[in-house]
Amino acid sequence: MSVAALRRATRETVSGLPREFWWLWTSTLVNRLGAFVATFMALYLTLDRGYSASYAGLVASLHGLGGVVSSLVGGVMADRIGRRPTLLVAQASTAVSVALLGFVHHPVAIAGVAFLVGMASNASRPAVQAMMADIVRPEDRVRAFSLNYWAINLGFAISSMGAGFIAEVSYRAGFLIEAGMTMACAVVVFLKLPESRPQRVPTEKPVDDVGLGTVLRDGRFMSVVGLSFLVALIFQQGAVGLPVAMGEAGFTPADYGMAIAVNGVLIVVLQIPVTRFIEHRDAKRLLVVSSLLAGYGFGLTAFAGSLGVFALTVCVWTLGEMINAPTQTGLVVRLSPVNGRGRYQGMYTLSWAVAALVAPLMSGVVIDRFGAEWLWGLCAVVGTVAAVGFGTLMRRLPAEGAAVAEAPGTAKPEVSAA
1 C-beta neighbours (distance < 10 Å), count = 9
- 345, amino acid identity: Q
Query: Cβ neighbours of residue 253 under 8 Å, at least 6 residues apart?
Result: 243, 247
Q: Degrees (nearest 5) of the Cα angle 83, 353, 379?
A: 135
One digit per residue, the tens of pLDDT, for the chain of length 418 reads: 556 665 666 676 677 788 989 998 888 888 877 677 766 776 678 778 888 767 877 787 788 888 888 888 888 898 888 889 999 999 999 999 999 998 998 999 999 998 999 888 888 888 888 898 888 888 888 888 888 888 887 887 777 667 667 777 788 888 898 899 899 989 988 998 888 887 754 444 444 467 778 888 888 889 999 999 999 999 988 877 888 788 888 888 778 778 887 888 888 888 888 887 887 788 889 999 999 999 999 999 999 889 899 999 999 999 999 999 888 888 888 888 888 888 888 889 889 888 888 887 788 788 888 888 999 999 999 999 999 999 988 876 655 544 444 443 333 333 333 2
Q: Are 185 and 27 in contact (CB under 8 A)?
A: yes
pTM of the model: 0.74
Query: What kind and span of H or E run contains 332?
Result: helix 307-335
Query: Where does residue 89 fall: left (phi above 0), alpha (psi -120 to 50 degrees), or beta otherwise?
Result: alpha
DSSP-derived secondary structure letter, 412: P
CA distance 61 to 357: 7
CA distance 298 to 292: 10
Mind listing the domains of the chain with CATH numbers? 18-196 (1.20.1250.20), 209-399 (1.20.1250.20)
CA-closest candidate to residue 149, choices 6, 231, 270: 270
Look at the alpha carbons of 132, 136, 137, 142 in this order and tell me if their dihedral is positive or negative. Answer: negative
- 197, amino acid identity: R
